[in-house]
Amino acid sequence: MTLALNAQTLPDAGSLELRGDREVVVTWSLPAPPRLVYDAWTKPELVRRWWAPAALGMEMVDCQADLRVGGRYRYVVRGPQGELAFSGSYTELSPPSRLLYTHVFEPMAAAGELAVSVTFTERSGATELVVHERYPAAEVRSAALCAGADSGRRETMKQLEVLLGSLR
């Protein structure tokens, strides 16, 4: 069930929708082919250039990924509150159209992991990116949104757009 009151338009080219009490779906249009967007989403040398929201005072200090099914990734960002780490494992890699992985915010690892699916679909020379996150519990999704996950996502998507423009 989609809650219309919880759907919102993100600046520029995206939307965020809350589904039920555990899911977030973000749709974003990016001005690059799926191959480039997939690479930017998965290759550490590119991820480190957009994943930490610089406008919120964050910088990527470590970015590691073993890009294979069962492989793990770990990103560490530094910001005003210190260092924060995020990690998970890849469950499906289907370049350049689909990616499935788990995601853990390490300071709250006991809260469980998210199941994330990302699709990269070509639409008129651009990529429609759809990120579907399923949280382990309603309280975990609520805590992530209250902690600013949405504003961080907006900033990183803008940074991804800039990166993609530099790669074309």
pLDDT digits (tens, 9 = 90+) for 87-146: 999 999 999 999 999 999 999 999 999 999 999 999 999 999 999 999 999 999 999 888
The whole-number pLDDT of residue 7 equals 37
The whole-number pLDDT of residue 63 equals 98
The whole-number pLDDT of residue 12 equals 55
Angle, CA of 32, 2 and 53, to the nearest 5°: 40
Band of pLDDT at residue 9, cut at 50, 70 and 90 = very low
Q: Examine the pLDDT at 33 and tell me if it is beyond 90.
A: yes
Exposure string of 150-159, with b = 16+ CB inside 10 Å and e = fewer, is bebbbbbbbb
Closest CA relative to residue 27, chosen from 126, 93, 95: 126
Mean pLDDT of the chain: 91
3 vs 71, more confident: 71
Distances (CA, A) of 130 to 1, 21, 62, 98, 106: 18, 19, 26, 10, 24
> Do the strands 72-79 and 59-65 form a parallel or antiparallel pair, or are they unpaired?
antiparallel
Q: Examine the pLDDT at 4 and tell me if it is beyond 60.
A: no
Q: Examine the pLDDT at 11 and tell me if it is beyond 80.
A: no
CATH architecture of 4-167: 2-Layer Sandwich (3.30)
